[in-house]
Amino acid sequence: MRQLFYYLTILLLLSSCGQPTKYVVKNNLVYFQGWNEAKGNYEVLLKGVSAKSFKVIDTDCNMIVGKDNKSVFIDYSKLENADASSFEYIGNYFFKSKDSVYFFGFYNSFDDCEVVGVNPATFQIDKKYPWAYDRHLVIYGHTVLDSVDFESFKVIDKLKAQDKYANYVDGKRVIRK
């Protein structure tokens, strides 16, 4: 029992270190504040951002997203070429604007977060992460699947789906024999 108390105390102390990650407006400037083990508490100025039009985009994912009237930011990095006026969170780590759909569920960099070839006007997410659709395409994360029989396509779980010709595992087509 004493050992359990010791470990819970250590866990409580470690989890209370630092401040929450957030955007802060001070003196008509927007800052991104956070904490990590290497830097401790830190603050990064978002250059050229309009504090007057800046707002945080609410999500249910582990990301801090904000925008002003010109730019979109993920943490303190600017998402190039995103249309800030129409940029919105859809769900399951998917965002969209009038011209593009973005997926941040398992991205490595901003260079591969755009879901290329998808129609944002008809885009919708599936109940099972990370599957999504537009009118004619099936999407797994940021990958658009080729040669899917759209009419018979069915998501089984997070990793698997099938149509009448093939199975799909982790976004890859596996032809049934």
User: Measured on CA atoms in the order 68, 69, 72, 77, is the torsion positive or negative?
Assistant: negative
pLDDT at 15: 44
Q: What percent of the chain has pLDDT over 90?
A: 71
Q: Is the pLDDT of residue 162 over 70?
A: yes
For 38, 77, 90, 163, the CA distances from 56, given in Å and listed in that order, are 26, 14, 15, 39
HEC secondary structure over the chain? CHHHHHHHHHHHHHHCCCCCCEEEEECCEEEEEEEECCCEEEEEECCCCCCCCCEEECCCCCCCEEECCCCEEECCEECCCCCCCCCEEEECCEEECCCCEEECCCCCCHHHCECCCCCCCCCEECCCCCEEECCCCEEECCEECCCCCCCCCEECCCCEEECCCEEEECCEEEECC
The rounded mean pLDDT for the chain is: 87
Q: Provide the pLDDT for residue 164.
A: 93
Give 16 or 53, the one with higher predicted confidence.
53
Q: pTM for the complete prediction?
A: 0.82
pLDDT reading at 64 higher than 90: yes
